[in-house]
Structure 1
Amino acid sequence: MTSKKQNADFLHVGEKLLAWYRTHGRDLPFRNTRDPYKIWICEIIFQQTRISQGLNHYNNFITRFPDVQTLADAESDEVILYWKGLGYYSRAINIHKAAQQIMNDYGGNFPSAYEDILKLRGIGKYTAAAILSICFGAVLPAVDGNFYRVLSRIFADDFDSSSSKAFNYFSELALMMMPKNEPGHFNEAMMDLGSEVCRPRNPKCDECPLQTDCLAYNLGLTTKFPVKSKRTKVSDLELTYYFVEFAGNFLIRQRGDDFIWKKLYEFPNEIRDDFKDNISHQKTVTHQLTHKKLTIHIYKVSPDDEKLFLEFASEGGFTAISLEGSHGKSFPKPLENYLTTI
């Protein structure tokens, strides 16, 4: 059981962090708003994308979809297109569906209750806490990988950060430090500290405002934390695609909601027997996803009969499109890269 004195000491650490943040916090466009829609979009974009890589994408997305209704009313293809370059396209699909939920279930007003926000497609505990603390002043830690790393080092705590109980465990530690009058700024400060100073490798301990309070640093064990026992299991998957082209047009089809690359466009993955004399191997590439290592074989198929080309398109539900026209579609990265070589 933590004593009141210990709680006061931990709160002092949180106040030091806030003082550092007021001087060193990053000047970002979404830091100048408390609009829950914009905070939501920025949190989803930057969950798996560095600020430097995703800032232009955020600005372009918000310019095109400035509010919930604009996003909800858009075609899914356009939403995915504006996500192009960020990867993890399921996030774009989820925010589009969540925007429609907000319009249908909450009259277009972003919900302000934790349970209601968690009902939105693609929003978990971290994102809900970030929105509520930043926009509504709720005393909730937005616990993510940055929090696990910073807190485990400060407390030299070997609790397994890959455990299903890690979110609740580190939330309790964060609450000991969180000044109750500035929960949003505290969460943003933790994000900045974890991203810019308390990095996974080569942490900048000499620049850390919490250096004297950090048990891991004082014990010379900074790189030993956080502890993570579970490793992501990666499976191998082999895919074959056929770039079927006739008179400057090639065939594409949109993927469904299942498996990988949801709603993106792809080439045919099988061909007619009477096309096999027109095949040439183009390239084999590898591509890494979170849980899968892909080996992708791409073949070029150039049928010499327009009728057969159109029949194949009709039978397989494919659309014939020009290279210029394909710029308005979103493809998996390996196929997008292939199109740049044509």
Structure 2
Amino acid sequence: MKPKKQNADFLHVGEKLLAWYEISGRDLPFRKTKDPYKIWICEIIFQQTRIEQGLNHYKNFIKRFPDLETLANADTDEVLLYWKGLGYYSRALNLHKAAKQIIEDFNGKFPENYDDILKLKGVGKYTAAAISSICFNEKIPAVDGNFYRVLSRVFADDFDISNSKAFNYFSELALMMMPKNEAGHFNEAMMDLGSEICKPKNPKCEICPLNKNCIAFNTGNIQNFPVKSKKVKPTDLELTYYFVEFKDRFLIRQRNDGFIWKKLYEFPTEIPDEFENYITHQKTVNHKLTHKNLTIHFYKVSLNSKKGFEEFAVKNGFRISSQDDAALKSFPKSLENYLAENV
């Protein structure tokens, strides 16, 4: 579906955006490089993390894993450890798998076009477009929430952004604005405008470089754009964890690749009947994931038998951990908070 015609000079709007970006674009460390590996890492980190919150994580991750080969050869636990604090740990697992994929399928060289980059584990259309445009100047808009918001407001376009065709629709609209040979800078400019000025709430329209061209602003309709009809209702999920300890040791286990919190560590979720006399209820916490509302119950099980403690661990595949050992592992945030308060 093609965008409907607007009474605006699309290319002129794109040029105004680039002129603003040249003066006001954010000075970020990953903008000083065209290394696709580093751009890839930063794009994955900042998918779900604000720049100011994730910048140190980016620097530390790049310092420890400076290139594809180092990341591909690293242990999964260490990759997760360096992701600690960023959440959405599946991103780190996918980075690790994709690094191995590049070594195996692309002879260790980062792919240089959109279609090949899109084949990488965990890489979607937006990330592939960002990398291919910034590093290889491929003329593809990196359409994300910022693009939807800016374009729908500038052109007062009521195309529903939850529609499955929205990505292609707004890509066509962005291409009309994109100056020749400026794909990377255009995409970065849109990112900055959307995150710093054209915000979801309380946009700074008075200092926006496109305010004279923005139909929504000039008609007093900013609050009506973008249009989004669908909203996934989160489901409720209740979990129970038992913190089984003997003296200064406790039990943990790495989760598998199924369901939530892939490859993170957790406590036992079930205990034998003979442990019930040692249980005390600790706390109940609520935690929100993207499409789930979690209620998590924590119980402490303080055993007085080393034999029973060790037998339960061996039989059920648990690791006997110390505080220092646990500090080198990655846990879901709620379990990490529990450890900080109780160990």
Q: Which bin holds the TM-score, normalised by the shorter protein?
A: over 0.9
Tell me the residue number matched to 2:273.
273
Tell me the residue number matched to 2:215.
215
Give the direction of change, closer, same or farther, for the CA distance of 1:201–1:98 in structure 2 (3 Å limit): same
After superposing on structure 2, the runs of 4+ consecutive aligned residues of structure 1 that deviate more than 6 Å are 1-7
The 1-side partners of 2:81 and 2:239 are apart by 24
- The answer to whether the 8 A contact 2:18-2:189 is kept is yes
Unaligned stretches of 5+ in structure 2?
none
1:323, CA displacement in angstroms?
1.2
1:113, CA displacement in angstroms?
2.3
Q: Which amino acid aligns with 2:112?
A: S
**Within 5 Å, which residues of 2 pair with 1:72-151?**
72-151=72-151
Tell me the residue number matched to 2:167.
167
- The answer to whether the 8 A contact 2:3-2:172 is kept is no
Tell me the residue number matched to 1:20.
20
- The answer to whether the 8 A contact 2:6-2:155 is kept is no
Q: How big is each residue's C-alpha offset from its partner over 1:148-202, in whole Å with a ceiling of 9 and x where there is no partner?
A: 0000000100100011111000000000100122110000000000000000000
1:5, CA displacement in angstroms?
11
Whether 1:193 and 2:193 are equivalent positions in the alignment is yes
The 2-side partners of 1:231 and 1:3 are apart by 25
Tell me the residue number matched to 1:335.
335
Whether 1:248 and 2:248 are equivalent positions in the alignment is yes
- The answer to whether the 8 A contact 2:3-2:169 is kept is no
- The answer to whether the 8 A contact 2:14-2:178 is kept is yes
1:119, CA displacement in angstroms?
1.0
Give the direction of change, closer, same or farther, for the CA distance of 1:86–1:4 in structure 2 (3 Å limit): closer
RMSD: 1.4
Q: How big is each residue's C-alpha offset from its partner over 1:209-239, in whole Å with a ceiling of 9 and x where there is no partner?
A: 0000000001100011000000122000000
SS of alignment partner, residue 340 of structure 1: helix
TM superposition score normalised by structure 2? 0.97
The 2-side partners of 1:204 and 1:313 are apart by 57
1:48, CA displacement in angstroms?
1.0
Give the direction of change, closer, same or farther, for the CA distance of 1:4–1:50 in structure 2 (3 Å limit): closer
Whether 1:230 and 2:230 are equivalent positions in the alignment is yes
Q: Which amino acid aligns with 1:305?
A: S
The 2-side partners of 1:197 and 1:172 are apart by 23
Tell me the residue number matched to 1:310.
310
Tell me the residue number matched to 1:203.
203
SS of alignment partner, residue 94 of structure 1: helix
1:327, CA displacement in angstroms?
0.4
Whether 1:259 and 2:259 are equivalent positions in the alignment is yes
1:116, CA displacement in angstroms?
1.3
The 2-side partners of 1:220 and 1:271 are apart by 60
Give the direction of change, closer, same or farther, for the CA distance of 1:172–1:310 in structure 2 (3 Å limit): same
1:304, CA displacement in angstroms?
1.1
- The answer to whether the 8 A contact 2:283-2:298 is kept is yes
Q: Which amino acid aligns with 2:46?
A: F
Aligned residues: 341
1:74, CA displacement in angstroms?
0.2
Whether 1:66 and 2:66 are equivalent positions in the alignment is yes
SS of alignment partner, residue 110 of structure 1: coil
**Within 5 Å, which residues of 2 pair with 1:34-53?**
34-53=34-53
SS of alignment partner, residue 341 of structure 2: coil
- The answer to whether the 8 A contact 2:118-2:125 is kept is yes
Unaligned stretches of 5+ in structure 1?
none
The 1-side partners of 2:324 and 2:140 are apart by 48
Q: How big is each residue's C-alpha offset from its partner over 1:223-281, in whole Å with a ceiling of 9 and x where there is no partner?
A: 11000000122000000000000020000000000100000000000001100000000
SS of alignment partner, residue 295 of structure 1: strand
The 2-side partners of 1:276 and 1:3 are apart by 66
1:4, CA displacement in angstroms?
11
Tell me the residue number matched to 1:55.
55
Tell me the residue number matched to 2:291.
291
Identity among equivalent pairs (%): 71
Give the direction of change, closer, same or farther, for the CA distance of 1:214–1:278 in structure 2 (3 Å limit): same
The 2-side partners of 1:217 and 1:105 are apart by 48
1:2, CA displacement in angstroms?
8.4
The 2-side partners of 1:287 and 1:247 are apart by 29
SS of alignment partner, residue 203 of structure 1: coil
The 2-side partners of 1:2 and 1:257 are apart by 41
The 1-side partners of 2:4 and 2:151 are apart by 19
